[in-house]
Structure 1
Amino acid sequence: MAGKFIFTMDRKDISRFLTKTIDSFVQDRLINKERRIENKEQCAERLAAKDGSSDKDTEVEYSDQAVIANLDWGIEALEEAISTYNMETKLARLDHAEKMLQVCAMLNPKQKTGGVPNFYLSAWAHLNLSYLWKLRSNTQNCIFHALEMFIIDPFFSRVDFAPDLWKNLFLPHMSSIVGWYSEERHKLMMEVVSGSANLSFTADIDKLFNESLVSSMRPHQIDKLQKLDQLYGESLNENTRLYAKYYKDCMNSDSTSGKKVSMLPIAEPPMTPLHELSLSIPDYVKFGPILPKSAGFSLTSSPKDIVNGRLEFLHRF
C-alpha cells in the first residue's frame, strides 16, 4: 500500500510523499475523462437527493442558484481547458474556471446553499482547483487544494471525491481505529450468529462483515450497530481532518515561511482495541458510506429523484 512507510518519514520525506501521491492521483484523473464524468454524475445525484426534510416545492433563491451554477460553469471551463491543445484558449479557460470555482471554495462550510451543505460544494470546488493548478504546473497549490478538500469535508472526500487518494494518504494511520471497529463489530455479529461474543476474534471474520446478517438482528442490536458505525465514521473523519492539517503544515514548512510544524498526530480510536490491525487492511472492513448526522442530505436518491431532479441545481438556468 502506498504510504506504508510514512511513520518513519521526516517532514521533508512527508512533503515528497505528498507531492508524489497527490500529483499521481491528479494526473490520473486528468488523463481519465470517463472517471471525471462519472464523478461529476455521482455528485450531481447527491445534489438532487438533498435533505428530504426540506420543502421540495420551495423556490431556491436566485443568489443560491447562481452560486451552484458557478461550480458547474467552473467544471465545464476546466474540462474545456483539459481538452484543448490551443495554449491561449487553455489559459483563458483556466482563468475563467478559477474565478467560478473560487465562489464555492470560499463558502462558509457551516451554512447551506439552495439546501445543499456548503462543505460539500466547497470540497468539490477544491478538488477541481487541484486539477486546475496541476494544469498550471503549480504542484504546491495542487497539493494544498487537495488537502483542503479533506479538511473541509473529510467524509464525502473519502466517499465521493477521492476514495483512492484517502486510502493512500490517511488509511496507514487508521489501523487502531479500524482494529477497534472490527473488534466491536465482531462482538456484535457473534451475538447474532451464536448468542455469544466469546469466540475467536479471527473466526469466520469475513462472514461477520456480511451485511445480510443485519436482517437477522433484533431492534436493539440494529441500534447498537448504527451507533457503532456512526462513531466509527466520526472517528475516521476527525482523524482525516487532523492529518490533512498536519500535511499542510509539513508542506508550509518546506517553504520560506519558516513556520514550525507540530508533532505527527496519533489517530486514537474511541476505545482501545485488543487487536490492532496491520497496515494490510482486509477488504471487508468498510470506510464508507457511514453518513454523519451533519451531512445535511441523503446518501442515496430514489430513481424518481434522479430522473426528475438529478441536475436540478446545476442545469436549471
Structure 2
Amino acid sequence: MIEVVNFTKRYGDFVAVDDLSFSIGKGEVFGFIGPNGAGKSTTIRFLATLLRPTSGEGRVCGHSVVNDPMAVRRVIGFMPDDFGVYDGMKVWEFLDFFAVAYEIPYTFRKKIIGEVLELLDLTHKRDDYVNGLSKGMKQRLCLAKTLVHDPPVLILDEPASGLDPRARLEMKALLNELRGMGKTILVSSHILSELADFCTSIGIIERGKLLAAGSIQEIQRQLRSHRVLKVRVLDETTTRAASILGDDPSVRTVELFDHTLTAEFEGQDEDMARLLGRLIGEGVQVNSFAEEPLSLEEVFMMITKGIVN
C-alpha cells in the first residue's frame, strides 16, 4: 500500500533523508519513530505529495508520488503535526469544506459528515465554532477531516502531540478502531509506549537513515540473543524454583529479587512449556510465568545513538 524507494532529500549540502526505502502492506499500522530532526516529517510530507524528492520514488496504492500526485491525494488521508483552523467556521462547515475539496457530491456530503462526526464522537460539537474547540477536540476534527473521503491509507504525523493523558488514550482508541476498519496507517509519534500497543510494524530513523524496520518482535530478536523469563513464586518454594531453573539446559543465568526469578532463556516455546510443567510438577507454587520482551523504548535506545542533524 505504501512503498518508499531510495528516497533522498537534500537542502544544499545538508542531507535531510538519505536513500530511504521501506514498504507497508495492506492493513498494517506502521510506527515511524525517530528523534527530532531525524527526517520523519520530511518523509511524511514527501508521501503526502507536499515535497519533491532530490532523488528516489514513492508509491501509494500503486500510484507514483512523483509522477501522479493527484491520484495519490485521492487515496490518502493526511493529518499534519500542525494545522490551522478557520475563524467563524462551524465544525460541520469545516468538514463540508474538505468534502467539497475532495469532490464529494452535495447529495452525499450531509450523510458522510454525520457518519464521520459519529465515528470521532464529535456529533455534539457539530454546530460549535472550530476556533473555540479544545486542543483535543481540534485533533479529533483534523482526523475527521482526514476521513471524509474514506481513504484506504492514512498518514498521521504526531496525531497525539500536545494532548493531555485522557485525550491521548482517546486518540489511541480511535486509531485502533481505524485499524479494525482495515485502514493502512503510517503514524509517527514520540509516545513510544502507545505505539507499541497498536502498531504491527515499526521503522526507526536517525539522521535521515533507516536503522531498522519490521515487526517489533523481529527487531527484538535481532537485538537480543536470548529470551528473558520472569517467574514469580510463593516464598516457601523460591529456593526449589531457583534450583530447577538453574539446572535446566535452556537457562543461561538466574537472578532472584523479591520472590521473582529472572532467567536468561535460550530455548524454544516447547522448552518454555516443558520448564513450566516441571516447576509445577515438582511442587513449586507459581504465581506468574511469562516472557519479558524488550519495550519499544528499550529497542529505540539500543538502536539509536542520540545524534541529531
TM-score category by the smaller chain? 0.3 to 0.5
* Structure with the higher strand share, 1 or 2: 2
* Structure with the higher helix share, 1 or 2: 1
Give TM-score scaled by structure 2 length. Answer: 0.33
* Higher RCO structure (Cα 8 Å, ≥6 apart): 1
Give TM-score scaled by structure 1 length. Answer: 0.32
